[in-house]
Structures are given as structure tokens and as C-alpha cells.
Amino acid sequence: MSKAGGCRGCGCRVPQRASWSLVAATAALCLVLATSVCTAGAAPMSREEKQKLGNQVLEMFDHAYGNYMEHAYPADELMPLTCRGRVRGQEPSRGDVDDALGKFSLTLIDSLDTLVVLNKTKEFEDAVRKVLRDVNLDNDVVVSVFETNIRVLGGLLGGHSLAIMLKEKGEHMQWYNDELLHMAKQLGYKLLPAFNTTSGLPYPRINLKFGIRKPEARTGTETDTCTACAGTLILEFAALSRFTGATIFEEYARKALDFLWEKRQRSSNLVGVTINIHTGDWVRKDSGVGAGIDSYYEYLLKAYVLLGDDSFLERFNTHYDAIMRYISQPPLLLDVHIHKPMLNARTWMDALLAFFPGLQVLKGDIRPAIETHEMLYQVIKKHNFLPEAFTTDFRVHWAQHPLRPEFAESTYFLYKATGDPYYLEVGKTLIENLNKYARVPCGFAAMKDVRTGSHEDRMDSFFLAEMFKYLYLLFADKEDIIFDIEDYIFTTEAHLLPLWLSTTNRSISKKNTTSEYTELDDSNFDWTCPNTQILFPNDPLYAQSIREPLKNVVDKSCPRGIIRVEESFRSGAKPPLRARDFMATNPEHLEILKKMGVSLIHLKDGRVQLVQHAIQAASSIDAEDGLRFMQEMIELSSQQQKEQQLPPRAVQIISHPFFGRVVLTAGPAQFGLDLSKHKETRGFVASSKPYNGCSELTNPEAVMGKIALIQRGQCMFAEKARNIQNAGAIGGIVIDDNEGSSSDTAPLFQMAGDGKDTDDIKIPMLFLFSKEGSIILDAIREHEQVEVLLSDKARDRAAILKGKMIPSYIINSNPEMENEDQPSSENDSQNQSAEQMLSLSQTVDLADKESPEHPADSHSEASPSDSEEAAGFAPSEQISGSTENHETTSLDGECTDLDNQVQEQSETEEDSSPNVSWGTKAQPIDSILADWNEDIEAFEMMEKDEL
């Protein structure tokens, strides 16, 4: 959409102040045209199969929603492993995650409009009555303003929108008299005190009963908020104003958006992740499209769609141009620094960016949407789910997956835009994986670790609000939905707001006169409404042709490196120098370093530093190669120096009624049978007597041939193992005696030996925290005979339950689990260390293999006078190079398979004198030491806040 309001792609003109109904009709036409011309690329899916998959989604929703209502309501969320409700204050705190819980039956409110989309109108009517009867919005509890807005306020408004639609149809909700809207208005007024700041940015948290800054409120002292937290209010607040006529809500949300826009980094047009709500200073200056920023961009574009205000579109297009210029590196989307956008801020991506292809579809930029979506899908095919974070070479960075719906959202929008049945197959895979790996008797459980298949006792409300809505719509035909979905826009929580709000109670000024939009390049505003003749130029295989080059991107581990090497060979040039190949005594290598702006500095104490001055590189490409080389040096070192930690193990309950659907994260032992080398141990469980297992068992007949349960405490783990082994047990599970402990909140426990030779222990031993252990103990009390599987990762249900009569939904149509390689043990630890990111002017020393490693990210700002990148080397000593006041620079280009690099290195140098020779062909660089304690602290602070 140009600034004059022309919808270029569709060949029509929309008056600048026209109602959005005309604009919406135009956009709908674009989608119809796009769908009609791109129907190939995969085998068409029959109407019958689509209906079957749609019905399967309905059954899955019933399973999740029914168990919530039976076992959890009126609690906020269901705990699917323990079959009870999660009540704030009654369960161990999960930190910021619990800020979404306000004792207001969150899951029920979040699911209201999903019930209508799934054509469950009777259940919807019952649910609305329960909300009006039971929900209390005046609880003395501190909640997240952001989460409460998108889930509760959005849920009430979405429910109201569809309630009045049903009432108008005359079949249902005839008794309804805007009661949900009255509740939404009450909640809106409760959130307004959060905006009492000089900037207009809201406080991140508020007490529902006492508001802000009162002694009893326990909030109001915060100084920072995330960009998405402050910038994801306009849809719900504007809708509330348009529905009620109370303009104050829209005014406050607009003021917050205006402030964020004014605080953008003017040279890059990017915004940071975290901002000070009082001063407007950027606290975290990295920028991306994932966690902390994601829905800010989404709401700018959707605010234009819902409200018809050109200024929102102009802002979005300005940001989008910057995103595609700096952040988008197809198929990757990598965070950068807002002041130095050519430098990447990290070498990993978080799962929340999976929404972005769907937003690009709404923007009309289909090609990059297809590319990024395909990359994400391949990560899912490798790990069954999208890890919470993964590296640029597609390894797991954070292994959790809380059943996030963003990828399903993008899949739905891509199917709507292209009509390619390939995306129906993608949706089918999502359904199969949810049933196969996440379904448990009481609902669906979040994945604790996608590598092992272990579960968390968690089923977030957004799973019902979004996942089932998008999956059902993906397979539904128009006649399957009782209303026209094109008349509504989805909020970030997938709540439905009617487009007719654009013409209702429009008392807000459309233009922000403080911004000079006339200076913006008009070319930024192309492609808002896609020209299907250009997007799909007489080629029904358009989407497939874009996906095809990316089909092996994850398996090949590093597409960008491969592409770069191929381009180099085609041009006749040599590929960039790799850190693993570098020889300090090779003149040719030193010449390459010089070309990349990297030089060697010999220090008085015998250390040798590599220092990069990007401005001294022969070209910008050489400077980028130099940055990659420095990064590879650190990554190569970290791979060599990581301690050999045993990965987490899995305890899978396979007897009735669990059938392998409950998987518990277990800590390994440093003795006994290694489950990574032996497939598994299977057996029924029995409690040992004495329960602590510290003496000869008095009930050997009970544990003979079974897996013994033992309580932690009073003696060494190895002693317990010997006692149950002597009694004939085939394995042991030690359960923590610290009541309430959980793998959700505590680091994974690894059982050590007793200092003696433990070769006599032949059985596997695993450790469960109290919460996970109680799940097994409760199962014994209820079902007596409980069979479990001890393994390195969860096993395929089709294999472990072969020949048993079980419900068909437990085993999907693909009987064999993928036999894919898991990440190496270096990457398998629960608390995976941060990727290595090199700061400007920081120093790294080369040290021997035994030196400890402390990698970290640094997130402080670079000194304006300092523009060097340095890595230092020493034969046997380390330094504690301070990284204060330096901005990190991470690399996004060539990647290496570091698992194999350790074996390629020669033995550690023996000569530690200042005149050491450390770069011969027979003896290349052994290791690099990065011991930055201050960086570790910075990364840990970031890790707490980020996702």
C-alpha cells in the first residue's frame, strides 16, 4: 500500500480514508487469486482426508479442554502429568512464566472463541456462563500486563465478538447482553494504572487488586520492559475503546506505540529488546523478530488492518525494510545490534520468530516467508518439535518446547496464500507429533527436552487458544465454519476482532504529527497487497521451487557456508580460511589473515594475540570473513574444552493407562549400565525396603526382576545400587527426598560414585526429583502394576506397545520413529552453555586442553573509540579479559561440524616458554581459552529474561 492509499498489486485504488471493509475485501481478493494460481507442488489432499484431519483436531481439542475442565477448572491452567490445576502460590514458582496466572480461569477465557471456530457453540455458551459466574478479576495477585492483555482481555473481547455474532444469527446466545464486554472494560480499567509513567510505556506488572506502587501492590519499582510488552496493546485496547466508546484505552496504547517509534535507532530503523520505561534508553540493544520484539511488529501491521490508520502501515514498512536489510539472511533471521546492524548479536534463533513467515504473508512478501518456514519445518522434522532456541547450524540451544503455536500459525497463512497442499502435509505432521510425543492421559504435556522426549507438567493456555484454532482452520473448508473468518483479524493470541471496528467510534486522530513520514522512501511501501501475477508468474510450482534448494538445509548443517564455498569456487577464488585449518607458521595463512584485517601481536609475557581491525580489511567481504574466522576460533575452542557431561535420560511409563505417553526427565549416574550404549531397561517398579536402600533389602522377592525405587539420602548412591542389585533388581530409580523439588526449577542431577571402583555395578541407575518421582509413586498407588522404560531418550510407542490393545490415537500412521542422530554429548547437557560470541576489542588466549571454559555473551555497548576485534593466544596461561563497555559481535556465515574438529587437533604443546612455536602442520592450534566471568553474568541475566 503506497502512502496515497493505492493497492498496487491488485490493480485497484483505495481512498486514503476509506473504511477498512473495502481494504479488507481487496486483501481477500489477493488471497483468493493467490490460492487459485498455486495449487501444485504436492499431491492434492482429498476432501475426505482433510475432513478426517479436521475431526482429529476436534478430538485433540476435546481431550485437552475436557481434561482442563474436569481436573483443573477453575484454576488457570492444567498440569497434565499430575492431573490437577496450577494455582498461583500453591505450586513451586516458575519465575516470570507464572506472571500469566491471575487466578482468573485463564485457560477457559483464552479458549472462548476457539470453541466457536471449532463449531462447539453449545460448549461456548456454557463456557461464557461459567466465566460470568465464576471468574474474579479483583484478586490480590501480580500479573504481567502484556500476558493479561493478550490472553484475558483479548479472550474476553474475542468471546464478546463471537457472542454478538451468534446472537445476531438468532440460534444461540439470545440471552447475552454484552456481559463479557463489561468484564473486559473492568479489566481494562485495572490495567490503566500501569501506564502512569512519564514515557507512556506501561509497567511490566500490575496488581489486579491494588494497582501500582502501593505498599500492598508489590510492584511498580520496575524500570525496564520488553518492546513487545509495551507495543502489543493497540489491538485489544483500541477494540475495547471502539466497542465501548471509552477512548482512553486506545489513547494510552497509541501513546506507548508513539514513544517506541520515536525511540527507534534512527540510522538503522530498528528497536532493541528491552527499554527503560522512564527514560526511554535502550537497555538491551540487540534486535530481531523473535522473543521480546516479535508482536510489536505484528501489531503495527495489524493495527493498520483493523483501524485503517496509514501511520501504522508507514511505521511497519519502515521497520520491515530494516528487517529485510539487516536481520533477514534467508532462510535465517538473526539478531543484530541496533547501532551496528551489520554485526550479528548471536548465533542462535528462538522459536518465537516462527510467527514471522505468517506476518510476511499478510505483508505480501511470500518468497522469504516460504524460505524461513521451510527451514523451521526441517528443524521440526529433525527434533519432532521446534526447540525453544537452536543455533545457526541447527543444533539445539534450549531444548524445551512448551507447545508453541507460532509455526502452525505461519503454516495456515502460507496455505491460505499459496494453496499449496504441501502445507496441509506440514499440518498433518504437526498433528501426528502432538499425538505421538506430547499427548498424555490428562491432556498434552510440554516437552522438557525435545532430544529425549521428556515432559514438563505444563499445558499453557495458548495451546488451546491458538494451536487448535490454526490447525482446524488449515483443514477446514468454508462451509465447515459457521461464520466468515475473513471478517475478523487475529490478535497475537489468535483472538478474533471484527474488521467493522474500523468505522466505529473513530475519535482518535489518524496521524501522529510528531513524525515526518514524508521523508520516508515510498518504495518501502510496496508489497503490502501482493500482486499475484508477480508472486506466482504463471508457475503453479512457485512455492515448491523456492523450497527445493532448502530441502536439505538442516541435514547439511550449514547452508550459508556451503553457498559461500560454492560461490567462491565458481568465481575462481579460494574458500575462506577456516579456523580448524589455520597454521600460524604458514605464510599464506598469515597473508589471508592480513587481508581479513587480522594481525598477530606477540605480547611480552609470551602470549600471542589475534586482533581484527575491520576497517583494515581489504573489503567488506574480507572483514566479514575475518569476523567469521574469529568466531570459529572461539567455537573450536569451546568444543574442545567442554567437560564430558552425561546427557539427560528418560523414564517412560508404558503400562496402562499411560502407554508410553508420560516421559520424565531423569539424571544419569556416573556408574552402572550406560543407557546410551545399551538400548533400554524395561520392567515393573517396586519400592525397596528399607526405602533408603542403605542396607540389605528386607523385601528381595518384591524387587527381584524389577526396577527398584529408592529414596535419596543417608548413604552413597553406589551403595544403594549395590544393595538393590544384590536383591535381584534390574535397575534403580533414586527419588529425591527434598519435597517439592522438580526438574522444572532445579538443574539436572548427576549421581556420582563413592570414590571406590564401581565396575561391579551392572544395572542402570537414574535420578528423579521429588515431583517427577511422585508421578510414579502416585501411579503405583492407583494402578499397582506400573511398568517403565529406562532409556537415553523416549522410545516410539508403536515399538514398545507392539501387540497390545491400545487406543488408536496413541500410535500414529507412521509406525517407526525417525532414526536420526542426536546431538553429541557435548550439546546434551540440560544447562547448555552459551554460544561463543566475540566482543569488540576483547582478548582470548590460546591455552592447553585442560583449561576450563567459560563462554558467554556480552551485551553492553561498545566504546565509540574502540573498533577492534581481538583474539589472543598463549601456550599455557589464561587471562580474564574484561568485556565491560563492549558490544558483542557474533557471526552468521560459515559453520563447521565441530564434533569432528576435536579429533583433528594435535596434542597439547609441552613448551610453555615465551618462544614457543605453536602453529606447525604436524601440530596445529590445540585450543583457545575464553574465561570471561563478567560475560557469564551478563548472559545469565539475559537468559532469565529472554524467553
pLDDT digits 0-9 by tens, 447-498: 999 998 999 999 999 999 999 999 999 999 999 999 999 999 999 999 999 9
Please give the grid coordinates belonging to residue 211.
Answer: 494497582
d(CA 235, CA 497): 8
More confident residue, 623 or 75: 75
pLDDT at 616: 82
d(CA 803, CA 408): 33
The DSSP bridge pattern shows strands 6-7 and 332-333 to be: unpaired
Q: Given a cut of 60, is residue 411 above it in pLDDT?
A: yes
Q: Is 409 a catalytic residue?
A: no
Transcribe 785-839 into DSSP letters: --EEEEESSPPPHHHHTTT----GGGS-S--S---PPPPPGGG--SSPPPPP-EE
Q: Is 147 a catalytic residue?
A: yes
The DSSP bridge pattern shows strands 731-735 and 707-711 to be: parallel
**Quick one: pLDDT band at residue 413, thresholds 50, 70, 90?**
very high
Exposure string over 827-861, b if 16+ CB within 10 A, otherwise e: bbbbebbbbbbbbbbbbbbbbbeebebbbbbbbbe
The kind and range of the H/E element at 652 are: strand 649-653
C-alpha 313: how far from chain center: 27
More confident residue, 328 or 535: 328
> Prior bond to 657 cis, omega within 30?
yes
Burial grade of 517 (CB within 10 A; 0-12, 13-18, 19 or more) = middle
Cell numbers 610453555 correspond to 912
pLDDT at 942: 45
d(CA 343, CA 857): 14
C-alpha 358: how far from chain center: 16
- The CA-atom distances, in angstroms, between 124 and each of 80, 100, 120, 159, 160 are 23, 23, 6, 9, 11
d(CA 504, CA 164): 15
d(CA 465, CA 460): 9
* Binding-site residues from annotation for Ca(2+): 492
Q: Is 294 a catalytic residue?
A: yes
The mean-pLDDT minimum among 140-149, 157-166, 745-754, 782-791 falls in: 745-754
Q: Given a cut of 70, is residue 890 above it in pLDDT?
A: no
More confident residue, 838 or 773: 773
Angle made by CA atoms 804, 806, 810, in degrees to the nearest 5: 120
pLDDT at 544: 84
Selecting among 147, 286, 393, 736, the annotated active-site residue is 147
Cell numbers 581489504 correspond to 618
Look up residue 149 and give its DSSP letter.
I
The DSSP bridge pattern shows strands 274-276 and 328-329 to be: unpaired
Amino acid at 536: F
pLDDT at 173: 96
d(CA 535, CA 531): 6
d(CA 735, CA 683): 17
**Quick one: pLDDT band at residue 637, thresholds 50, 70, 90?**
low
- The CA-atom distances, in angstroms, between 929 and each of 391, 609, 836 are 21, 12, 11
pLDDT in tens, 300-359: 999 999 999 999 999 999 999 999 999 999 899 999 999 999 989 998 999 999 999 999
* Binding-site residues from annotation: 492
Selecting among 77, 98, 224, 388, the annotated active-site residue is 388
Q: Is 406 a catalytic residue?
A: yes
**Secondary structure string (H, E, C) spanning 201-246:** CCCCEEECCCECCCHHHCCCCCCEEEHHHHHCCHHHHHHHHHHHCC
Q: Given a cut of 80, is residue 822 above it in pLDDT?
A: no
Q: Given a cut of 80, is residue 674 above it in pLDDT?
A: yes
Q: Given a cut of 90, is residue 141 above it in pLDDT?
A: yes
Please give the grid coordinates belonging to residue 820.
Answer: 536420526
More confident residue, 866 or 196: 196
Please give the grid coordinates belonging to residue 157.
Answer: 473481547
d(CA 253, CA 232): 8
d(CA 243, CA 504): 8
Q: Which domains does the chain have, with CATH numbers?
A: 49-501 (1.50.10.10), 580-643 (no CATH), 649-800 (3.50.30.30)
Selecting among 294, 787, 828, 926, the annotated active-site residue is 294
Q: Do 128 and 114 form a contact (C-beta atoms < 8 A)?
A: no
The DSSP bridge pattern shows strands 765-768 and 286-287 to be: unpaired
The mean-pLDDT minimum among 315-329, 522-536, 737-751 falls in: 522-536
Q: Given a cut of 80, is residue 558 above it in pLDDT?
A: no
d(CA 917, CA 924): 10
> What percent of the chain is predicted at pLDDT more than 70?
71
The mean-pLDDT minimum among 12-21, 656-665, 709-718 falls in: 12-21
Please give the grid coordinates belonging to residue 713.
Answer: 539420602
- Region for 307 from its dihedrals, namely left if φ exceeds 0, alpha if ψ lies in -120 to 50, beta otherwise: alpha
- Tell me the backbone φ, ψ of residue 524, rounded to 5 degrees: -65, -20
Q: CB neighbours of 583 closer than 8 A, spacing ≥ 6? A: 589, 919, 920, 921, 924
Q: Given a cut of 90, is residue 584 above it in pLDDT?
A: no
Neighbours of 512 (CB within 10 A): 18
Which residues on neighbouring strands pair with residue 870, listed in sequence order?
611
Selecting among 98, 314, 365, 406, the annotated active-site residue is 406
Neighbours of 895 (CB within 10 A): 24
First to last CA, the chain: 34
The DSSP bridge pattern shows strands 336-337 and 286-287 to be: antiparallel
pLDDT at 582: 77
d(CA 832, CA 823): 12
- The C-alpha R_g of the chain, in whole angstroms, comes to 29
pLDDT at 784: 82
Q: Given a cut of 80, is residue 502 above it in pLDDT?
A: yes
Mean of all residue pLDDT scores within the chain: 78
Among 685, 709, 710, 689, smallest CA distance to 698 is for 689
Helix orientation angle between 20-37 and 406-418, rounded to the nearest 10 degrees:
80
Q: Given a cut of 50, is residue 250 above it in pLDDT?
A: yes
pLDDT at 256: 97
Largest CA distance in the chain: 90
Single pTM value for the model:
0.69
Which of 404-418, 507-521, 634-648, 782-796 is the most confident on average?
404-418
pLDDT at 932: 36
Neighbours of 554 (CB within 10 A): 24
pLDDT at 342: 92
